Structure 1
Amino acid sequence: MQQAQAEAVKAALVTGGSRGIGKAIVERLARDGAAVAFTYASSGAAARELAAAVEAGGGRALAIRADSADEAQLRAAVNRTVEAFGSLDILVNSAGVLEMAPVESFPIAQLDRSYAINVRGAFIAIQEALRHMQPGGRIVTIGSMAAVRAGFANSSVYAMTKGALASMVRGIAIDIGRRGITINNVQPGPTQTDIVPAEYIDTLVNMLPVGRMGKPEEIAGMVAYLASAEAAYVTGSSFTIDGGLIA
């Protein structure tokens, strides 16, 4: 019985998993019984604290330093996950950056980095993960409701990258569907994380029909469903969780 239970444990990798929505996803997947590796770029202390907390709760966690803009580091993170856990069943692309500036003065270097992390990095992680995934594999990307409604001045680049992510998910779903692997996109609205500029918070709350910002744990709940066996017939879709902002 113990051997059967061990074989049933899922192995997951969450990019950008040391804080915010990514952290909540790591915690949720671990609580649901998965062994979870996650990447971080700079917040080493927070990553170590999260891994320790997961293991203290009886789970398995692995913190991997990897910049999602760096192809070699990202591919290495995928392979290190497989080496540590023996498989890769779930990939969640949560790493992302929010750069805001007027179009006429937007630094091209920042545009390139936004694309490199938000779109190119997600593609690379998916590409490498698919070398290891078996039927039943689950891929989830964390996009943004900005793909549907930009909503704010100076958000053109961010909205562009998240729109590209949603389109990419639709195309990949067609490519991998016959392999029994699903891919979906979760599009959070304003959520209580440090990625949201403080000067926007009051305005956002006043715009939201529910009268509050979302919680990272609420986004993680949708990810957990899409990563489950129950979601086997759901693929190529984007799920907006935004408190009714685009209603």
Structure 2
Amino acid sequence: MLFKDKTVFITGASRGIGKAIALRLAKEGANIVVAAKSTEENHKLGGTIYSAAAEIEATGSKALAVKLDIRNEVQIASAVQQTIDIFGGIDILINNASAIQLSGTEQTESKRFDLMHSINVRGTFLMTQACIPYLKKSSHAHILTLSPPINLTPKWIGPHIAYTLTKYNMSMMAIGWAEEFKNIPIASNALWPRTTIDTAAVRNLLGGQDLANMSRTVDILADAAYYILRQPAGQCTGNTFIDEAVFAAEGITDLSQYSVVPGAKLYQDLFV
């Protein structure tokens, strides 16, 4: 098994997309580091690092629950050191943690602007920086960042500039790391969905149950991540993948199993 005993560090892994990727790779035998802020249950969000770790361990794989706010450099260093102490290395980093607010320029408060940049951009950079020394030692090193293809057509940028800036920055870093570390090799790719994904953000911030019913489940990104991460690091890097294209490359065109409501019309994502 390719992922057997490989160690995967996932930010924002207590719920949603991060947890789904964690469970998918745990089923392949990977050790999973569940790194997130949630240590107590929030009924609107659901899940903690401990409940996610318990689900992972139920698959037969090992999990390490680590409280982590990626805005905090000391916590990043501690989380990475705990991972090394327990598992001995890091093979894969999933940059999933992200903050979102879909507001126009006049409606975006400076504290929200700063929050999105400090998590999505600065936090992703510092998290990756801390993992690089250990990824360099891996025989199957991958960085996968949850961010969209970069499209500078104005209609994609205008509606929510502050958020879009941060997500495009994440994709720029993903592309940059692919070039910077290509000779090691450490693969670096980005992944984004074609349609909205049923997450707590969709239900609580964006469109509620109505939008959730027009979405796909988190499992589609978990499976897409699996297909990307099983590729050789030196041969699959520098891409900003859309999930449907990942499946198409695997010869899979029927994605109906991932619809929250079977047969429902799906809502296209913000960036595609």
TM-based fold match above 0.5: yes
Residue 232 of structure 1 and its aligned partner are, at CA, apart by: 4.1
Deviation per CA, 1:61-119, whole angstroms, max 9, x where unpaired? 11100111212212221221121101100100110111232211311111111011111
1:1-247 matches, within 5 Å, as: 9-45=5-41, 46=47, 47-133=49-135, 134=137, 135-144=139-148, 154-188=159-193, 189-196=195-202, 197=204, 200=207, 212-230=214-232, 232-241=234-243, 245=268
Higher mean C-alpha deviation, range 55-64 or range 146-155:
146-155
- Secondary structure of 1:171 counterpart: helix
Deviation per CA, 1:124-162, whole angstroms, max 9, x where unpaired? 111111111124211101114686777597522211111
Aligned-pair identity in percent equals 28
Deviation per CA, 1:152-178, whole angstroms, max 9, x where unpaired? 975222111111111111111111000
Instruction: Give yes or no for contact 1:147–1:166 (8 Å, CA) kept in 2.
Output: no
Q: C-alpha distance in 2, partners of 1:147/1:41?
A: 31
CA RMSD of aligned residues (A): 2.7
Q: How many residues align?
A: 237
- Over 3 Å counting, the alpha-carbon distance change for 1:81 and 1:148 in structure 2 is farther
Instruction: Give yes or no for contact 2:140–2:233 (8 Å, CA) kept in 1.
Output: no
Instruction: Give yes or no for contact 1:192–1:216 (8 Å, CA) kept in 2.
Output: yes
Instruction: Give yes or no for contact 1:15–1:38 (8 Å, CA) kept in 2.
Output: yes
- Secondary structure of 2:32 counterpart: strand
TM-score, structure 2 as length reference: 0.78
Q: C-alpha distance in 2, partners of 1:43/1:142?
A: 23
In structure 2, list runs of 5 or more residues that go unmatched.
42-46, 245-265
- Over 3 Å counting, the alpha-carbon distance change for 1:153 and 1:19 in structure 2 is farther
- Secondary structure of 1:62 counterpart: strand
Amino acid at match of 1:116: S
Amino acid at match of 2:228: L
Deviation per CA, 1:174-207, whole angstroms, max 9, x where unpaired? 11000011010011241000112565358858xx
Instruction: Give yes or no for contact 1:119–1:164 (8 Å, CA) kept in 2.
Output: yes
